[in-house]
Amino acid sequence: MSDYLVMYEGGDKGWMKRPPKEFQKAMEEWGAWFKELESKGVLRNPGSALAPGGAVITRNGKGFVTDTTMAEVKELIGGFTIIHADSVEKAAEIAQGSPFLRNNPGGRIRVQPVFEPPA
């Protein structure tokens, strides 16, 4: 089994401004999903939602450039989780159970293996 990074992309940027009951319901759905993954032994790290803002750092040949407007970022990652699965297909199947797409129909989930150096 390997670890997989599950990234939540293209979600509702105003999700924290939802009405309190709607916000609470979404958080309960996430909590229930994490408990389900934990009971199956596949949750490595529940991760977190990411707050707005940040910086993109690039190298332009003369030094480093920091863009705090994040204007170059095409698809913001709204959060992440790390799961344990037998294959990328199985990890994708697990990720489909996430509440993310139910709450963000225009979003998408990306699943990528975590590099494990050879022993």
pTM of the predicted model, to two decimals?
A: 0.84
**Tens digit of pLDDT for each residue in 68-110?**
666 555 567 889 999 999 999 999 999 999 999 988 888 899 9
Q: What is the pLDDT of residues 28-48, one digit of tens each?
A: 999 999 999 999 999 999 999
Paired strand residues for 82? 5, 45
Pairing status of strand 2-9 against strand 108-113: antiparallel
CATH superfamily, domain 2-113, is Dimeric alpha+beta barrel (3.30.70.1060)
User: CA 6, CA 106: separation in Å to the nearest integer?
Assistant: 17
The residue ranges of every structural domain in the chain are: 2-113
